[in-house]
Structure 1
């Protein structure tokens, strides 16, 4: 058993979070005064408003006919409690449908550890009040869960919606409640079993029984939620007559324990965790009547070669289409799209794909009439390096290629209400994106829906039965906007806009986008200077880094750089760089990190940072620091250990230290199995280089982190201690993988600034 309960009290006494009063910092032990922190109130504001997003519309859905927009919005710019709202397109009026206060009536909201863990996977752990809702296919019924209770809202008459609570049912707290397409049933997971509840009568029936400590039904396993982007573990069929559910057995997994040393009387939490090279959860899929009550032994098991393809990555139950599943082998180099026979459980292969490095997960999107499906792939027979969007026949055979070999294709946004065209996002420079409309069967040319000359970002919500759509994009002040339009044309008229009650941001970052050449490759970069920049000074440099797969940091929206602008205003020039291994630049670019997650990013980030110093004479190449979180934290540790010639100080947040201690699906995708790539794992492990630390290093880690467990930083601290290398360690008591509490954010960022000022210094004359 792996446990975090053996942490010594002295370790936690090394650094604690204090009250948020950065202006009154105590002097150092040697009498030196700590560096002054500029505009600390902005940092508190940034955290208290969750990046100025509280009060923005969220979880936006259009009714099928496009006559109304449903959304969640907090009651104020610093409230984490969201209510459910509706916007009437014809009148332009908005009204609240249901509030958390109406339901709770002054009582505290109740969240179980399981629900909190699920929200952690969904990155909504801080959300309170109405955090989610389901909309029926006809747009007339809503399901709203809150504090373990379930509410059904009839919005047929939106001027007078009718809300009623479903009777409290046995089995425990409902997890992941969902509405059937016909709005007659509600499914949820209670106590590890799957239940359905009749909306009209409130009667509950069990779909499964027999859940134990390691066997659950209807809930997605950890790697599905965290790494595959699949949060669900059950699916109603389109006709609402059947329900598919996964059975998960974690008996072979290690049990990780998270305890709170600051509160030793509080019970520890335990979670099954699949470390790289070790056992995964055993996942099976079954079909049952959606009314419940049938013997579990009569449920039909969906059959595929689970020994060869253990990962259930996608389940699709689209209307007018067969049920399909996407399964992957453990190496993620082969996947099958399978059609499911619900009566027998037999499966038929529609698409088979292989990749010698790894396959990027996508999914199937069926046409509305079931006459075919869209498929995004990097398997281009012509050898092109980009993505391809295909139209395939119902039997999986290729019908046509809609988008051929496009490195800039970023994703499918949706089908038009007529079903004859598909809206996609493209990112020609891998910084901003554009919206393009491609005909599916016609031979007409694609057309841009948004301005191709503007470097910005776009979000889209389409209505299913009308030409109304919602377009979100940053406004002139960087704040997001939500505009309703009719017709997918560049000059589509505006029908109205959703309102935000978010706090106004007092600053607008000034990112300077550029490119640098490293070994003949052009890398995207962004530079942020202090807003009181003095060209006569030479500034210390901070590389604000992520550098890992799936994520870019050189992004168009100005507000994406708010924290880095604040950091620059403290007297630094802050840079961010996207080297190879990041998405959006083609298959070979992304897969350059196969077998070793650090060698290529470290070499290219170091070279690019020095190249930026050459291009901007105010950047001091002798005073470069690096900081990041999660993969960025890992990179920062490795930069300090392996490239002290470039990076002279590092602050590393929640770092993976040895990839053998991270989860299977993410790690093995890039590194392979440890037993098959021992040299690669050793080369990518920070523990290998503990003796080599020569520059100041600050490790930061939340003690309750259930994504990158604190075992990582503890192992690094132990290795450095035994090697006799000095370092600093800041454990964040009770925090998970994210730090959002305003007081903690202020203290953490102030500590980071102080660390860099101590070791890199202040701006100095050139």
Structure 2
């Protein structure tokens, strides 16, 4: 359940779907009106994808450090084009457009590619990714299920003769071949002759070759199922057998004639995909299967095949309390153990590790209470700690061996982020491209470390991307064509309560000091995401909501990341305890500091885990939260996926009580328990949190005689990018709070 930290997905009002009523409905109020400027802002917010369309994304420094490549959409359309920024001149030119390739045709995607983009939370069109050959001479650009080779020097593009439906394409290290998955098998294309060769044989929809299974993509952040050997002579690939996995169906309720779309979806306590790793010559032939105790360690979490080390795999046990790092002999499939990690609650995955270097490999651990990077010898023995737990590592960037320096994104304050470097395990030093003040910054680094690309956003500025030298001297800026917001949010950051929860508060821009106002809490509260960020973009919609007469608050309580392993693991075996109580306590603590908070009029809204929290608040703490909007909520954790749910709640056969107290149905069925006014919103085509979650909750509330409203979103998934839908959804959300939290 990986979520954008401050995104509430949009929704669609289908006229045929009336609210569900379980008792006499209150008289419908007339539609609440907004001012013309508020209407204009919401329209702009939706059409510009939160004012992010038209900003540079996916920057990549070429090996010669002379060029920075990046993608950029149009101001009001997410059709992305490929650009090149010249480091010497500071000039930017357009390299390639989707229109030039398609020549008037429409972009089409296979069901597998659509699902992959859903897992990666990609809603853009046109060029959504590109590959750069190791020498930097060529680009590999996928579009509409086909592949195009671009010569950087001439700009010439050539369609590779792969056939349609190409997934996960990548150059070999020598740039002479391109590998990819098509029709459930791995293929190789020889660039010089533009000739395709099948590598694996016999892949089917139920037994795929080279594709990452659902939980690997959705929960492990492992989006690939195949890997080149460093010499390009072999390929490692996964075989994912889902024949024993429960099949769940999605039907387009507006078009029942199209039939159902079935997917293998593993629910807690039930069968997972059986995944094994094979090594095969790049020319095809016999597969050597890698050997490990798959009964004890069924999850293949990470695979790397580096130049400086062996083919390496990380495997986990079912509950993710133990994992082993194994070196693989590709010739025999035999493995040898490098290290074992254990945790009483669960282990966090970091796909950037292991990083093989001359001295051995870098390793990620939380053994000492927080994210830490260690240097280990080639046999797995600990050499020394490079990045200490208190440094606040959130994303590994690069290790420069000559300088013995680690670069990473993060920092000790969870509400901020910067690019840092640490030499020889010493004190971290922030690397900033001429920027100052509190901000959210994330950086990338060239192979030699001479050039940086840093994205910068602050409480008063939208994201900008700077190119700089290693000492922080700014070279230039990747140009944006985005529409800029018409205002800067009025955000206050503070820490509240005895536990010092990080909090943000947005007031109406025309608020009168001392005037009591209703409060809306924007919540996520899950163990993978924080919502309090020093970012203007994060609070634009909050300001729009606030200007309609509300205080908008966010709190990061126990269970959220970035405040140490113990803080995050407070939710172990219980999602319904400290997560909700911390939100309630934070509201009370905020009221003690801010006299304008009206504790008699507090609402709460969220999406996904945040939707679960909102519905939980309406069911369990209606004394605090007087109205709620729950978007795409997980209702019964027995119905979510294995890898996420069992990590936190354990196996249902071993901990049935954890699932019982964490289920919304437990509280919905209690007829003596009151319910705050609740609006449920859910996409009918959601293949992450299935629509039946909300239907189960609605049914339980209906049978318990509890009035609520349900807005089904016809044909929409967990990620809802349509601008009109976004606009209508937020109108509904605000009308709900205006009806129930008004004086």
In the alignment, structure 1 residue 165 sits paired with structure 2 residue 140? no
Residue 721 of structure 2 corresponds to residue 721 of structure 1: no
CA contact (8 A) 1:274 1:280 kept: yes
For residues 5-16 of structure 1, the aligned pairs below 5 Å read 13-14=17-18
Q: How does 1:153-232 map to 2 (within 5 A)?
A: 153-155=150-152, 157=153, 160-169=154-163, 172-232=164-224
Q: How does 1:385-396 map to 2 (within 5 A)?
A: 385-396=369-380
Matched, 1:130 2:127: yes
**Greater alpha carbon shift after TM alignment, 560-569 vs 245-254:** 560-569
3-state secondary structure, aligned to 1:224: helix
1:400 has 2:388 as partner: no
Which residue of the partner structure matches residue 495 of structure 1?
A: 475
Matched-pair contact (CA < 8 Å) for 2:134–2:174: yes
- Post-superposition shift, 1:139? 1.1
Partner Cα distance (2:362, 2:650) in 1: 30
Partner residue in 1 for 2:430: 448
Distance 2:616 2:323 in 1: 33
Give the whole-Å Cα distance in 2 for the aligned partners of 1:397 and 1:638: 46
The reply to whether residue 377 of structure 1 matches residue 355 of structure 2 is no
Stretch moving more, 208-217 or 398-407: 398-407
Between the aligned partners of 1:578 and 1:634, the Cα distance in structure 2 is 16
State the SS of the aligned residue for 1:563.
helix
Deviations 1:677-703 (A, max 9, x none): 111111110101113243211100000
| Larger relative contact order, structure 1 or 2 (CA cutoff 8 Å, min sep 6) | 2
Query: Tell me, which stretches of 5 or more residues in structure 2 are unaligned?
Result: 1-13
1:333-482, aligned counterparts within 5 Å? 333-363=321-351, 365=353, 369-380=357-368, 385-406=369-390, 408-416=392-400, 418=402, 420-440=404-424, 446-450=428-432, 454-474=437-457, 477-482=460-465
Query: CA contact under 8 A between 1:364 and 1:373: conserved in structure 2?
Result: no
Quick check: 1:60–1:70 contact (8 Å CA) kept in 2? yes
Match of 1:313 in 2: 301
- Cα distance between partner residues in 2 of 1:434 and 1:466: 16
What TM-score do the two structures reach when normalised by structure 1? 0.91
Cα deviation for residue 376 of structure 1 reads 1.9
Partner secondary structure for residue 537 of structure 1: coil
Cα distance, 1:184 vs. partner?
1.3
TM superposition shift of 1:65: 2.2
How many angstroms apart in 2 are the aligned matches of 1:642 and 1:476?
34
The aligned counterpart of 2:3 is none
Q: 605, 613, 626: which is aligned to 1:627?
A: 605
Q: CA-atom RMSD, angstroms?
A: 2.0
* Contact 2:438/2:459 (<8 A) preserved: no
Change (3 A) 1:414 1:63: same
Q: State the partner residue of 1:272.
A: 264
- In structure 1, what is the equivalent of residue 742 of structure 2? 761
The aligned residue for residue 493 of structure 2 is 513
Question: Structure 2 matches for 1:703-714, cutoff 5 A?
Answer: 703-714=684-695
Q: Which residue of 2 aligns with 1:116?
A: 114
1:708 Cα deviation after fit? 0.4
Q: What are the superposed Cα offsets for residues 157-204 of structure 1, whole Å, 9 maximum, x if unpaired?
A: 2xx2222111243xx511222221211111221111111111111222
Matched, 1:250 2:233: no
The answer to whether the 8 A contact 2:459-2:534 is kept is no
What's the counterpart of residue 46 of structure 2? 47
Note closer, same or farther for the CA distance 1:465–1:291 as it changes in structure 2 (3 Å cut): farther
> Would the alpha carbon gap of residues 264 and 364 (structure 1) be closer, same or farther in structure 2, given more than 3 Å must change?
closer
| Aligned partners of 1:240 and 1:290 also within 8 Å | yes
Partners in 2 of 1:86 and 1:387 — Cα distance? Answer: 35
Spell out, residue by residue over 1:662-685, the C-alpha distance to the aligned partner (whole angstroms, 9 max, x if none).
000000000001111111111110
Residue 528 of structure 2 is aligned to residue 550 of structure 1: yes
Which residue matches 2:93? 95
Q: 1:648 to 1:52 in 2, by over 3 A?
A: same
Say which of 713, 734, 742 aligns to 1:732: 713
- Listed one character per residue, the Cα deviations across residues 569-597 of structure 1 (whole Å, up to 9, x for unaligned) are 11110100000000011111000000001
Deviations 1:65-115 (A, max 9, x none): 2111111112x2012111111111112222122110011111111112211
- Taking the TM superposition and a 5 Å limit, the aligned residue runs for 1:655-670 are 655-670=633-648
SS of 1:501's partner is coil
Counterparts in 2 of 1:332 and 1:407: CA distance versus 1, 3 Å: farther
Q: Structure 1 residue 595 and structure 2 residue 573: aligned? A: yes
Residue pairs, 1:547-626, within 5 angstroms: 547-626=525-604
1:82 to 68, 73, 80: 80
CA distance in 1, matches of 2:377, 2:437: 37
CA–CA separation in structure 2 for the residues paired with 1:271 and 1:759: 39
Q: In the alignment, which residue of structure 2 is the partner of 1:35?
A: 32
The corresponding residue for 1:4 is none
Alignment partners' CA distance in 1, 2:401 and 2:475: 17
2:137 is matched with which residue? Answer: 140
Structure 1 pair 36/536, CA: closer, same or farther in 2 (3 Å)?
A: farther
CA distance in 2, matches of 1:105, 1:333: 52
- TM-score, with length taken from structure 2: 0.94
CA distance in 1, matches of 2:274, 2:15: 37
Q: For residues 458 and 709 of structure 2, what CA distance do their matches in structure 1 show?
A: 42
CA deviation after TM superposition for structure 1 residue 268, in Å: 2.2
Tell me the SS of whatever aligns to 2:383. strand
Shift in CA distance, 263/464, structure 1 to aligned 2, threshold 3 Å: same
Of stretches 684-693 and 697-706 in structure 1, the one that deviates more from structure 2 is 684-693
Q: CA deviation at 1:405?
A: 3.5
In structure 1, C-alpha distance between the alignment counterparts of 2:651 and 2:293, rounded to whole Å: 20
Q: Distance in 2 between matches of 1:499 and 1:541?
A: 38
With 409-418 and 456-465 compared, the bigger mean Cα shift is at 409-418
